[in-house]
Amino acid sequence: MVHPCGEPEPLQGRSLQHMTDVRVNTVLSDAVLSAIRTVIGTPDGPVPLHEPVFGPEEEEYVVRCIRTTLVSSIGPYVEQFERLLAEYTGVRRAVAVVNGTAALHLALRLAGVQPGDEVLVPALTFVATANAVNYCGAIPHFVDSDMRTLGLDPLKLGDYLAEIAEVRDGGCFNRRTGRRIKAVVPVHTFGHPVDLDALLDLSARYRLELVEDAAESLGSLYKGRHTGSFGRLAALSFNGNKIVTTGGGGAILTNDDRLANQAKHLTTTAKVPHRWAYFHDSVGYNYRMPNLNAALGCAQLEKLPEFVERKRKLAMRYRDAFAPVAGVSFFTEPEFARANYWLNAILLEDRCADQRDRLLEVCHEQGIFVRPAWTLLHRLPMYNESPKMDLSVAERIERRLINLPSGVGLT
């Protein structure tokens, strides 16, 4: 079989060259579409990237909540949701909030991130990771990714810190900028855990606070232990496109009761509890999750083990379907992880990377809503002056990656 991205034979004439390019592009497009349809069939309508699955249980919980009239941030479903979430992830405490960005913002603040600090974040992530750093008045410092995980590369970061950082006065400082490097935020990209043991060692060596952005990895395990339970704090997201949803929502995870109590207080506008008096002892945030959202989340959490298994089966079907497709590989979990496969991904070979946008076009024309990776954050106008290390791996992933439809309902 001729490789669909192979170099064409030397040709005479521009029109013949154009015809050859079209033929090559068509071969790969047809192969990718065929592999996707092998898995998802030929649905009557468009196939979203990811959509929630609801049943009678969700409807029952929400209706019950409405009947109590406790639909805002006070009510039994918030407490139940936090308890179920802590039990599932294996942490001491979970604090439910309005969205994942709010969770990460407050987690960074509770970790001690101050205005003017630098925070190490991957360049390959959703913009909310850097925005949460910015909300603290701090500066995102972009780091490279690992091809094994698609997340932060602790080994390459270690070499970089040995060059630019020094530990003194009880903290880590950037020799080039003079600023304190306070924290590192690994993102478990598309649900795939980063190499946490190596990152924990690195964090201890450089006295960095480890705050996990586990927004995409509910249901993912690193060496048998749930993501979000390794750092001092972690953030989850329950947006409508996540493996379980509360409509809009997030949570802070921690094993520190003091930090959890602080999180509860600050997310409730720092109001001192009282039967009628409104007294606030610091600048807080209106970040608490409403009871109505938590009711939906409780029903969803009860189905989470089933959802994870269904998503893993979907991923294995994609893996098998793409195995014979030349020029493309399906991304699978690293050996130390059990991923939730939140968003399935294929990677084009380097010589096929220039066909990525054409593949996106063809799939969308067929009603299959695939997507590329996020634009690397150092390329966004508000962050193009932020410090960064060599990002060659992240740049290579960005050029080659396509996310596939990944909803639980596809199984």
**Under-50 pLDDT residues of the chain:** 1, 8-14, 16-22
Q: What angle do CA 289, 292, 295 make, to 5 degrees?
A: 95
Flag whether 8 is in a domain: no
How far, in Å, CA of 389 to CA of 143, rounded?
6
pLDDT score at 20: 43
Q: What is the CATH number of the domain that holds 144?
A: 3.40.640.10
Both 359 and 383 in a single domain? yes
Both 66 and 185 in a single domain? yes
End-to-end Cα spacing for the chain: 31
Both 271 and 337 in a single domain? no
Flag whether 256 is in a domain: yes
Both 228 and 373 in a single domain? no
CB atoms within 10 A of CB 21: 15
Residues in the chain: 411
Q: Which residues of 207-228 are buried (b: 16+ CB within 10 A; e: fewer)?
A: ebbbbbbbbbbbbbbbeeebbb
pLDDT score at 3: 67
CB 98 within 8 A of CB 128: no
pLDDT score at 6: 63
Q: Considering 283, 302, 321, which residue would you say is the last residue of a domain?
A: 302
Both 376 and 289 in a single domain? no
Total domains in the fold of the chain:
2
How far, in Å, CA of 337 to CA of 179, rounded?
34
Q: What is the CATH number of the domain that holds 362?
A: 3.90.1150.10
Flag whether 295 is in a domain: yes
Both 83 and 210 in a single domain? yes
Q: Considering 302, 328, 363, which residue would you say is the last residue of a domain?
A: 302
CB 88 within 8 A of CB 82: no
pLDDT score at 43: 87
How far, in Å, CA of 111 to CA of 114, rounded?
9
Flag whether 3 is in a domain: no
Flag whether 4 is in a domain: no
Flag whether 238 is in a domain: yes
Q: What is the DSSP string of 383-410?
A: GTTS-B---HHHHHHHHHEEE----GGG
Both 191 and 162 in a single domain? yes
Flag whether 294 is in a domain: yes
How far, in Å, CA of 284 to CA of 60, rounded?
33
Cβ-Cβ contacts under 8 Å for 16 (sequence gap 6 or more) = none
Both 46 and 69 in a single domain? no
SS3 content of the chain, % helix, strand, coil (to 5): 40, 20, 40
- 250-282: per-residue pLDDT in tens? 999 999 999 999 999 999 999 999 999 999 999
Task: Report the greatest alpha carbon distance in the chain.
Answer: 85
The secondary structure of residue 374, as a DSSP letter, is P
Provide the phi-psi class of 223: left if phi over 0, else alpha when psi is between -120 and 50, else beta.
left
User: The domain containing residue 125 runs over which residues?
Assistant: 56-302
Q: Considering 302, 327, 353, which residue would you say is the last residue of a domain?
A: 302
Both 325 and 391 in a single domain? yes
Helix (H) or strand (E) holding 105: helix 100-110
Flag whether 257 is in a domain: yes
Q: What angle do CA 344, 350, 356 make, to 5 degrees?
A: 55
Calculate Rg over the CA atoms of the chain: 23
Cβ-in-10-Å burial (0-12, 13-18, 19+) of 1 comes to exposed
Both 350 and 334 in a single domain? yes
Both 45 and 63 in a single domain? no
Both 187 and 333 in a single domain? no
What is the edge-to-edge ordering of all strands in the sheet holding 221-222?
Answer: 225-226, 221-222, 337-338
The residue type at 35: A
